Amino acid sequence: MKKILLFLLVLVLAAAGVGIYLWNKPPETVDGKDAVAVTAEALAAAYTSDEQKANAAYLERVLEVSGTVTEVTRNQDGKTVVLLGVSDPLSGVQCTLREDNVAITPGRTVSIKGFCNGYTMVVLLSDCIIK
């Protein structure tokens, strides 16, 4: 009986240690990661033509997307959000930047690196940095 209680105590302590480690683990960033290079036009076209195929190729991967800035706004968290326009006016690539004080203006051609989070009406990228 004592061996079973000791085993359970060790098991609970190990589970608590793993839980504490995972809770305090810093979030993953795009810094130093290899990125898949793609244009905003090609990325948006891939998602609008076949979302499942595009998810298999791009979802949760680091992408380096190049395109022309059409809009710069702030989201509800105060983060800067850059929209890279494409030929389809109802689509584009929305990039939420990690840095807040980034001087970027519409009309500028940029290359942005970030995690692909999927597609709503636009392709979503997060933790983005300007290359």
CA-atom Rg of the chain in angstroms: 20
Residue ranges covered by each domain of the chain? 36-130
Say what the pLDDT of residue 115 is: 96
Distance (Å, rounded) from C-alpha 121 to C-alpha 30? 24
Each residue's pLDDT, cut to its tens digit, for the chain (131 residues) gives: 888 888 888 898 898 888 888 888 877 778 888 899 999 999 999 999 999 999 999 999 999 999 999 999 999 988 999 999 999 888 999 999 998 878 888 999 999 999 999 999 999 999 999 98
Which of 37, 30, 43, 67 has its CA nearest to residue 122?
43
Please say whether the beta carbons of 125 and 107 come within 8 A. no
DSSP code per residue over 114-131: EEEEEESSSEEEEEEEE-
Q: What is the pLDDT, as a whole number, of residue 21? A: 85
pLDDT given for residue 6 in this prediction: 86
Token output for 72:
């710069």
In the chain, the percentage of residues whose pLDDT exceeds 70 is: 100
Cα 81 from Cα 97, distance rounded (Å): 6
What is the second-level CATH architecture of the domain 36-130? Beta Barrel (2.40)
In this structure, the strands spanning 109-119 and 123-130 are: antiparallel
